[in-house]
Amino acid sequence: MRLTNAAGILACVVTILGLIMYVSPMTLPSIAPVRASTRAISLVATYPNWNMTNPTITVTKGDTITISLSSDDGSTHQLLIDFDGEYAGGSNCTTVADQCSSNFSPSTPTQIPAFTITSNAGTYKYYCTIHYPNMQGLFIVQNPALPNFTINPSQTSLTVAQDSSGTISITLTSVNGFSGTINLSATISRSGPQASVNPSSVTLTSDGSASSTLTVSTVASTSGYYSTPVSQGSYAINVTASSGSLIHSTSVSLTVGSASSAPPGSSSLPVLPIAGGVIALFAVIGTAIFLRRRKH
């Protein structure tokens, strides 16, 4: 009799240890995937719980789910996911909205074949129809994260000499499966340099990226004989990317330095009038010399 008790206790301890080792890697994620995906869920029935703790199962609307079911306690179980919120015990697996497994036992594990989560975001429950109201947990459906995109400049500051130009690359990256056309534009904090993006629209495929080139020109503006240099100093360039209601922008600081090939301000001198003046001066001197030589 004592020997039997000892053997029974030993068997129990071994069984419990085995269960802990078997169930622990199957802990379900408590964080939903950011977007619809294919998910394989394993539930092990050990009365009075699923996976020891009746874990909250969180999925994303649009996910395709398969559920593997096994029993470790010698009993027969049946999983029901109550998507219509009407379950109140009993064998009620005829509702179209709900998902039900066949009965399963240690010798007959089963699986709910792949199905897509079509229910609206919300908190539902899953049950064992045979052991209601034990063996129940929360089944949460979340909305998928919205598609979006990011905009990143290859560098956040740029130095360009007067009468020159510089470029940096602008990278647009799809987030959460975004795909579509993005329009780009560049504005500058005050007049002087010219900023432009080429191409001015890019198309992203889902999870893809594309780039555009921001070009800054500091060439002096000219009007007739006069040219006005771009003022040295700091500017802010804002690059805006929009696609429908999604709008993102990034800023690049621009420093305009002195022209490297000529002293500052030289380009503002009216070159043609000076040249004309010099020619006229030579003409006057030449005429004077000519006239003096004729007198002698």
- Least separation in angstroms between CB 51 and Cu ion: 13
The residue among 46 and 174 lying less far from Cu ion, judged by its C-beta, is 46
- Least separation in angstroms between CB 132 and Cu ion: 8
The residue among 61 and 131 lying less far from Cu ion, judged by its C-beta, is 131
- Least separation in angstroms between CB 15 and Cu ion: 18
* Secondary element (H or E) of residue 288: helix 271-295
Q: Partners of 188 in the beta sheet?
A: 237
- Least separation in angstroms between CB 14 and Cu ion: 23
- Least separation in angstroms between CB 124 and Cu ion: 18
- Residue 226, amino acid: Y
The residue among 75 and 189 lying less far from Cu ion, judged by its C-beta, is 75
Q: How far is CA 141 from CA 35, 65, 116, in A?
A: 12, 12, 12
- Least separation in angstroms between CB 127 and Cu ion: 9
The residue among 39 and 131 lying less far from Cu ion, judged by its C-beta, is 131
The residue among 55 and 193 lying less far from Cu ion, judged by its C-beta, is 55
- Least separation in angstroms between CB 42 and Cu ion: 16
Q: How far is CA 31 from CA 21, 37, 124, 172, in A?
A: 23, 13, 16, 27
CB burial readout 252-261, b (16+ within 10 A) else e: bebebeebee
68 DSSP assignment? E
The residue among 28 and 246 lying less far from Cu ion, judged by its C-beta, is 28
Q: Give contact residues for Cu ion (rule: CB under 5 A).
A: 77, 128, 130-131, 135
The residue among 28 and 130 lying less far from Cu ion, judged by its C-beta, is 130
- Least separation in angstroms between CB 100 and Cu ion: 13
- Residue 97, amino acid: A
Q: d(Cα 288, Cα 284) in Å, to the nearest integer?
A: 6
The residue among 75 and 176 lying less far from Cu ion, judged by its C-beta, is 75
